[in-house]
Each structure stands twice: as structure tokens, then as C-alpha cells.
Amino acid sequence: MRKAAEQRPGDTQRWLLLIYRIQAGSSSRRTYVWRQLRQLGAVYLQQAVAVLPDRPELRAGLDQLGARIRAVGGAVSLLETASPSAPGGAALVGRFNLARDAEYDELVESVERFEDEIRREARKRRFMFAELEESETDWEKLRRWFARLTERDFFGAAGRADAEAVLWVR
């Protein structure tokens, strides 16, 4: 998997474009689709139009999601496309990085809240075995969240460094 910074001049970035329609009044189905696309790391270009880098594992995920949308009476088009120019491709990569940076910021804030809670408990000297187990479980959830986030950080968003620092250094 090549990062955007590793692309050679003249490289054309290839994309998968998902256009879908879900019946009106199906908010739970819309939410499901939104969550699945978010888990894949998609960026919305407009309502019901999402884009991802053209990679086999992402194509498989979009194929599965498309089948699910069709199964509930929706319509789906999955198209292959390419950036028409290097600046256009760079702008789209920038949108992906902005989306990942927002997620990294959210993770950093959650780690900071977790650490604040640990400090409060330490001041009160309320560390019972159950609290320690719960804290360990919460810490592992944060690390798994980071792992899932890095899987969809296709272009090396800058926010990753801050998230790594709070998770691995502390």
C-alpha cells in the first residue's frame, strides 16, 4: 500500500465511487450504510455518494455493502474512476486526511478523559481490583480503536502522530 507522499509524479490515483439510494423513511438503514462506509474509511462527496481508494479489500467491502443495500430494496452503483489531475487527486487525498485527523483528535480527547479519570481515582485512592480491571479494559478499547483507525488511514494523516504519542508513550 503506497502512501500519497510516496506516489510518483504523474501517478494517477484510482478510486471507487459508491452511489446509493435507500427508500425514504429508512433512517435505520441509512445509519447502517453510513456506519459501514465510515468503518471502511470512505469520504462522502455529497449525500449518498462516497469514495474510497481503489483497493481489493475496500472493493470487497463495498460489494458486500452494495448487496446488503439491494437486499432491502435500495439501488447501488459502484464505479471505478481516476483523478483527472494531480491537484484534483491531492485535494481528494486531503479530504481523506481531514476526516482521519478528526477521528484521531476524537481518540486523543478520549485518552485524555481516560487519564483524567485515572488521576481522580488515584487522588481518592479508590483503586479496587474491579476498577483496575475496568480501566484495563477501557485502555484496550482505546488501543483497538486506534488500530481500526490506522487501517483506514490510507494516506498517512498528520493526526496519527499525536494519537500514537498519547497511546504508546504514556
> Which among 116, 121, 114 is positioned nearest to 137, based on CA atoms?
114
Whether residues 131 and 147 fall in one domain: yes
> Which CATH number belongs to the domain containing residue 39 in this structure?
3.30.70.240
The pLDDT score that the predictor gives to residue 11 is 54
pLDDT in tens, 47-56: 999 999 999 9
User: Following DSSP, what letter does each residue of 111-123 receive, concatenated?
Assistant: HHHHHHHHHHHHH
Query: Whole domain around residue 108: which residue ranges?
Result: 88-169
pLDDT in tens, 115-142: 898 888 778 776 676 677 788 889 999 9
pLDDT in tens, 21-47: 998 887 899 999 999 999 999 999 999
Whole-angstrom distance, CA of residue 162 vs CA of residue 148? 16
pLDDT at 8 over 80: no
